Structure 1
Amino acid sequence: MTRPSTASSIHSQPSTGKAKPTPPPSPKSPRHIANRLWMQEQQKRKYLDHLTQWSLNHESSIHFHGKLSVSTQPSGCAQDLELGKAVKCVLTDAAFTDARQVIVIKLFPPDMRRSDRYEHLDTRRDSMDPCDEVDARDGKNSGSQDSGLGEISKEHYKMVVRCGAGWISAREYFNRAYFSQLEGRQGDATARAIQDEYMLHRSQALGPPPLDKDSVTVRPLFHAFQKLPPELREMILKTAAGLDGSYNLCADDYGTLRVKKADFRPAISLSTLFRINKSMNMHLIPFLYHSTDFHFGLTGFTNFLWQSGPEKRHEIRRLTFHFGKLALLHCIRWLAPNAVFSLFEPPVATNPRALQYFWRCQIQELVKDLHLFSLTFNIKQIPKADLPMIVAIMKAAFGSINEIRFIETDANGVARPVSLEDERLAGVRRRCTWRELCMQYYEQHRIHSYFFKFELLKSQAEDVESAMDKDEKFFGPVFAPLSLQAEADKDAEGRGVVRC
């Protein structure tokens, strides 16, 4: 019989010896307690660097002053200090001796997009939520794009704070923290002392205060808007609304070209601008109406004047009209003196018929409130023979006009000034009478039925002359559509500017 080998016997017998103890980790191992603490400290330093960058450039609260500290965890319970993850911190209010509270934050870098792990959270859609930006112009949520991902601003860090079951922006949270203790801040000395003592006892339960090296300062990064000088506030709001000195209200393209629009999109609309603050509007509205050149086509002008109201109408200083080839017909219908309108009465399809006369009376009264610094005409597609009568009508319609300018838009909608030396403007400087202007209008447009009332369609030139003879006091005097002052400088004339 063959005996089993010694090796097999030894392998088959159960081991009765004690297990060798696990050797301690090497000093170079990441599991070593010293190395683990060092790595946690380095992670904290790196996270504090991100917090420092956030504190220097973020959407800050204009009220809250204090500091934000990374919470110290017990040994072996270190938290994961990474961007985009929940981190427990301590918020300290500097208005009291010791007012601390534990909060949970999430910090996002400037170039971070909304990740899947953040989208599934039950976030509260607050107006200050950085991930729920609302387009103020058309009211659409920017997160409802085809990609389903809302891009966070690349300009600075974003922070959200846990609030109940959701998250709100740090700015909103700090505002709430400030106003929740507003009574204690603004009360008398006794109330402030009681509130301070209460906050001190509550904070002592959190242990010793955080070290300054583990904290970043939280403070307003800008002054309260209402405390800024009016000129600076106006400049900020003007930039936010994208106002560049002109505002295009042309609602039609008929007979002319649109003025080229700006390439950039304003941050807020003009209507939103006027809803910011009532006291601010006392300075803002006169400034905007004085400095803005409003552009109109054939429609929208009456509605604009009516909605502006009597106070704002008096602030309008600059207007530009893009009437096109029907400019003269439009002016006679709505802005011509009563004697000229009664002579021709161009028909307008209104129901009832008298509505035309009501609209005419309305706009006549509204434009009398306007005392303009400059009135500009876009002469694109306007027959040059119509320009003298158009200018004469507009000068008579408005309360006063300091300067009259002429421009012309090209194929791209870019406007360029037209010099008074242009041959198309020769007629506006020639002396004439209302009789001559009306007869010229009649001869040029007598073949078009919509330029005259029905009675004139079968009439002759002699009939029009006899009708004007009844009001010789109006139709007879000689005048110039543009009356140049003797001291008008040549440089202004070269730019197509006439001082009236």
Structure 2
Amino acid sequence: MGASTTPSTPVSRRGFPVTPKSKSRSPGSTTVSPKSRSPRKSETPISINQARRNFIEHLESWSLYRRANCSFSGKISPREPDYHSKKPYALGEAVICELLPHGETTAVTIVVRLFALPNQFKYRMIIRCGAGWEDERSWFLRQHRKYQARAKKQNRHGPVTSSPRSLASDGFPVTVRPLFNKFTLLPIELQQWIFEFAMGNVDGVRPHLSRQMKEVQRPMVENVSVAKLLTLSRSINCHVTPWFFRTTTFHFATQHLTTFLLQLGPINRSELRKLSVSFGRYSMIHVARFYTPNQVFELFEPPMLPLQHFWRLTLQDCMRELNLAVLTIKVDRMIKRDVSAVAKGLATSFGSVGQVRFENEGRPIEAESYRAGKKFEKTWYQHTQDIFERYCKGRESEHIFGKDQLKGTLEDLEKKMNDDPEFFQT
């Protein structure tokens, strides 16, 4: 019998089946294989450029709300893409940037790390300094001082003729600018508005308090010391300080007015236009001692210490230099019959007073209505008679009248007043 002629799988010499070889490819044939990317080709130039643009956007947001020194200005831009780096541009990573300060022709290479603050639209930057990292505020402040000193040195030796050039990295740098314009470059009206906002002098200022309470429409406004704002600079004080004293109402109780006027000096005292006083229950005693004219003071002879006499004379001299536009008297807890004499004693102590206003618990009142329709204006002769009749036998008498006046009568007081009718009839 002969061998079978049906095709079969080829067998090797040792009896093992042999896998048939693939047919040779034709020149035009193609094979489809699954795509595989090498780690180096995972980040194409387009993706790196996109990451760089995203980082530039973060830099833009940082420049708008940055915490660096407001005087530094220049341009910053990330360096050109480095395709060998896995994460060349990302928050929290060290990114090589070029910084071109304003007025300079050579860019500086720096390494920065940018962090996004949680729950805020702000960023924090640290900059490589030596072997460590430095906060952006300190670093930019030091750079500003360095370039400012260099500019002064160049101006001393003559101008430098050189054309400024842009950053070499690309044409889309981020501008590092001051967050606000210089205060001295703003219009005077805007400077005064900012000064008023910082002071918060809606209801006036109490100079005896170290800090003023703010009543502004913004939350979280810290209290600001008046003395600090009045020592900004000489150029600012030339127009801000006179405006401040002309437009601000200064509130005083029974103390601190003399010290305040002495510390102001003659120039600032001449700018005062508005004062508000509140003496309370013992207004008549305080006015009789420190504010009444010398004729009335010598007539009453109130018991005072030598130091109190000195403060009275000092206060009288300072008040004669004031030309007030408005004098506000707060009648809270003041005896109604004393309002007229207190107002007359205060008004005559100043050089001039344009208008006298009265307030009760913060609300303006009319003098006539407060006196129940009675005549408000009186002469010193009438005021002296009224004060003596009401206080000569009360417990406040020893604070207003001397011993000789308490032993005398109203007729004795009238005889003394008749010796100077030109004053007491006014």
TM-score by length of 2: 0.78
Instruction: Report the CA distance shift for 1:296/1:354 in structure 2 as closer, same or farther (over 3 A).
Output: same
C-alpha displacement of 1:369: 0.5
SS of match in other structure, 2:75: strand
Residue 242 of structure 1, aligned match among 188, 192, 200: 200
C-alpha displacement of 1:212: 2.5
CA distance in structure 1 between the aligned counterparts of 2:121 and 2:400, rounded to whole angstroms: 59
C-alpha displacement of 1:386: 0.3
Match of 1:138 in 2: none
Match of 1:299 in 2: 255
C-alpha displacement of 1:240: 2.3
RMSD (Å) for aligned C-alpha atoms: 3.4
Match of 1:321 in 2: 277
Match of 2:175 in 1: 217
Matched, 1:416 2:363: yes
Instruction: Report the CA distance shift for 1:111/1:325 in structure 2 as closer, same or farther (over 3 A).
Output: farther
The 5-angstrom pairing of residues 56-71 of structure 1 reads 56-58=64-66, 64-71=72-79
CA distance in structure 2 between the aligned counterparts of 1:26 and 1:328, rounded to whole angstroms: 101
Match of 2:111 in 1: 104
Name structure 2 gaps, 5 residues minimum.
Answer: 1-33
Matched, 1:379 2:348: no
Letter matched to residue 366 of structure 2:
S
C-alpha displacement of 1:233: 1.6
- Contact 1:241 / 1:266 at 8 angstroms: preserved in 2? no
- Contact 2:269 / 2:321 at 8 angstroms: preserved in 1? yes
- Contact 2:80 / 2:170 at 8 angstroms: preserved in 1? no
Matched, 1:262 2:215: yes
Match of 2:386 in 1: 440
Match of 2:240 in 1: 284
Matched, 1:93 2:101: yes
Per-residue CA deviations over 1:265-311 (Å, capped at 9, x if unaligned) read 44642211122110110101110011101111111111110000000
Q: Which has the higher contact order (CA 8 A, sep 6+)?
A: 1
Letter matched to residue 161 of structure 1:
I
Matched, 1:464 2:413: yes
C-alpha displacement of 1:422: 1.6
- Contact 1:59 / 1:171 at 8 angstroms: preserved in 2? no
- Structure label with greater radius of gyration: 2
Moved more, 317-326 or 76-85: 76-85
Match of 1:33 in 2: 41
CA distance in structure 1 between the aligned counterparts of 2:159 and 2:150, rounded to whole angstroms: 15
SS of match in other structure, 2:371: helix
Match of 1:398 in 2: 350
Match of 2:423 in 1: 474
Moved more, 464-473 or 361-370: 464-473
Letter matched to residue 272 of structure 1:
K
CA distance in structure 1 between the aligned counterparts of 2:404 and 2:41, rounded to whole angstroms: 107
Letter matched to residue 400 of structure 2:
F
Match of 1:139 in 2: none
CA distance in structure 1 between the aligned counterparts of 2:72 and 2:214, rounded to whole angstroms: 41
CA distance in structure 2 between the aligned counterparts of 1:260 and 1:155, rounded to whole angstroms: 30
Instruction: Report the CA distance shift for 1:309/1:183 in structure 2 as closer, same or farther (over 3 A).
Output: closer
- Contact 1:61 / 1:174 at 8 angstroms: preserved in 2? no
Residue 50 of structure 1, aligned match among 30, 44, 58: 58
Match of 1:482 in 2: none
The 5-angstrom pairing of residues 178-193 of structure 1 reads 178-183=147-152, 186=155, 191-193=160-162
CA distance in structure 2 between the aligned counterparts of 1:310 and 1:423, rounded to whole angstroms: 36
C-alpha displacement of 1:433: 2.6
CA distance in structure 2 between the aligned counterparts of 1:419 and 1:266, rounded to whole angstroms: 36
Aligned residues: 383
Match of 2:18 in 1: none
CA distance in structure 1 between the aligned counterparts of 2:124 and 2:238, rounded to whole angstroms: 35
CA distance in structure 2 between the aligned counterparts of 1:85 and 1:467, rounded to whole angstroms: 92
Per-residue CA deviations over 1:138-197 (Å, capped at 9, x if unaligned) read xxxxxxxxxxxxxxxx5754444344554341652552353254157646777444xx7x
TM-score by length of 1: 0.67
Instruction: Report the CA distance shift for 1:63/1:363 in structure 2 as closer, same or farther (over 3 A).
Output: closer
SS of match in other structure, 2:145: helix
Match of 1:142 in 2: none
C-alpha displacement of 1:470: 3.6
Letter matched to residue 90 of structure 1:
E
State the identity %.
30
Match of 1:129 in 2: none
CA distance in structure 2 between the aligned counterparts of 1:471 and 1:223, rounded to whole angstroms: 63
Match of 2:189 in 1: 231
Per-residue CA deviations over 1:11-49 (Å, capped at 9, x if unaligned) read xxxxxxxxxxxxxx96478x4532476665444332221
- Contact 1:89 / 1:102 at 8 angstroms: preserved in 2? yes
CA distance in structure 2 between the aligned counterparts of 1:174 and 1:82, rounded to whole angstroms: 25
- Contact 2:200 / 2:214 at 8 angstroms: preserved in 1? no
The 5-angstrom pairing of residues 118-133 of structure 1 reads none
Per-residue CA deviations over 1:412-458 (Å, capped at 9, x if unaligned) read xxx1111345243745x445332221121122222222232233333
- Contact 1:88 / 1:103 at 8 angstroms: preserved in 2? yes
- Contact 1:242 / 1:266 at 8 angstroms: preserved in 2? no
- Contact 1:329 / 1:346 at 8 angstroms: preserved in 2? no
SS of match in other structure, 2:202: coil
